[in-house]
Chain A
Amino acid sequence: GQSLEQPSEVTAVEGAIVQINCTYQTSGFYGLSWYQQHDGGAPTFLSYNGLDGLEETGRFSSFLSRSDSYGYLLLQELQMKDSASYFCAGRDQTGANNLFFGTGTRLTVIP
């Protein structure tokens, strides 16, 4: 089966750093992705980790450890507009195109 678990809610202060964790159990693994979804909007792609290590894209970084079945999204210099839901997503061996999403983390940035 496919299971990706995230904390349900995180609150952080504007300008701070926040880390959103994702632990997964999938039958086979093809990398971990992160998506952002604002209220009323569609999920949008943020990053992808196919190999272990850190990927950096501006204020956002994503990390993967396949041996630990664990990854995280790191958001730096938080802005109010970063308030949104964040989902990790992975693919499983039943089909490389089967993209399963995590439980989602609601991030609230406060002044």
Chain B
Amino acid sequence: ETGVTQTPRHLVMGMTNKKSLKCEQHLGHNAMYWYKQSAKKPLELMFVYSLEERVENNSVPSRFSPECPNSSHLFLHLHTLQPEDSALYLCASSQGTEAFFGQGTRLTVV
């Protein structure tokens, strides 16, 4: 248990669906992250929130939309996804040098 909780753990969605991934941390960390991990690829940084301010990665398609309503919660809103978006989506938080990861959401787009 890392103190970072992600829901759901598994998600199957159609290309026309809208869904949201949720991440919650009560570690008092001031930075939260979304990463995408595809098979046999490195973790790709998607978004960073630092003190609830978003730092964008310009290479992320607009069909991914993050939201950070407060320092403990982070969402990733998904809409009109493509099959190549199927991956493990990991949330992390940090305060300083160490990042703590959630168990991830395994997303399958059909």
Q: Which residues of A line the B interface, CB within 8 A?
A: 31, 33, 35, 41-45, 48, 50, 87, 89, 94-95, 97-104
Nearest CB in chain A to that of B97: its residue: A48
CB-CB nearest 3 A-B residue pairs: A42-B101, A97-B31, A101-B43
Given contacts A31-B97, A42-B2, A45-B99, contact A101 B45 (CB under 8 A): yes
Q: Which residue, of B94, B99, B100, has the highest number of chain A Cβ atoms within 10 A?
A: B99
B side interface size, CB within 8 A: 21
Q: Given the complex, which residues of B lie within 8 Å of A43, measured CB to CB? A: 43, 90, 92, 99, 101
Q: Smallest distance from the beta carbon of A28 to chain B beta carbons, Å?
A: 14
Complex formed: what's the CA distance from A45 to B92 in Å?
A: 11
Whether B101 and A33, one on each chain, are in contact in the complex, defined by CB atoms closer than 8 angstroms, is no
Given contacts A42-B2, A43-B90, A104-B42, contact A99 B33 (CB under 8 A): yes
Q: Is B50 an interface residue (CB 8 A)?
A: yes
Q: Given the complex, which residues of A lie within 8 Å of B92, measured CB to CB? A: 43, 99
Q: Smallest distance from the beta carbon of A51 to chain B beta carbons, Å?
A: 12
Q: Is B98 an interface residue (CB 8 A)?
A: yes
Beyond the given A99-B92, A101-B35, A104-B42, could you list 17 further A-B residue pairs with CB under 8 A, ordered by the A residue number? A35-B99, A41-B103, A42-B2, A42-B101, A43-B99, A87-B42, A87-B43, A94-B55, A95-B55, A97-B31, A97-B48, A97-B50, A98-B48, A100-B45, A101-B43, A102-B42, A103-B42
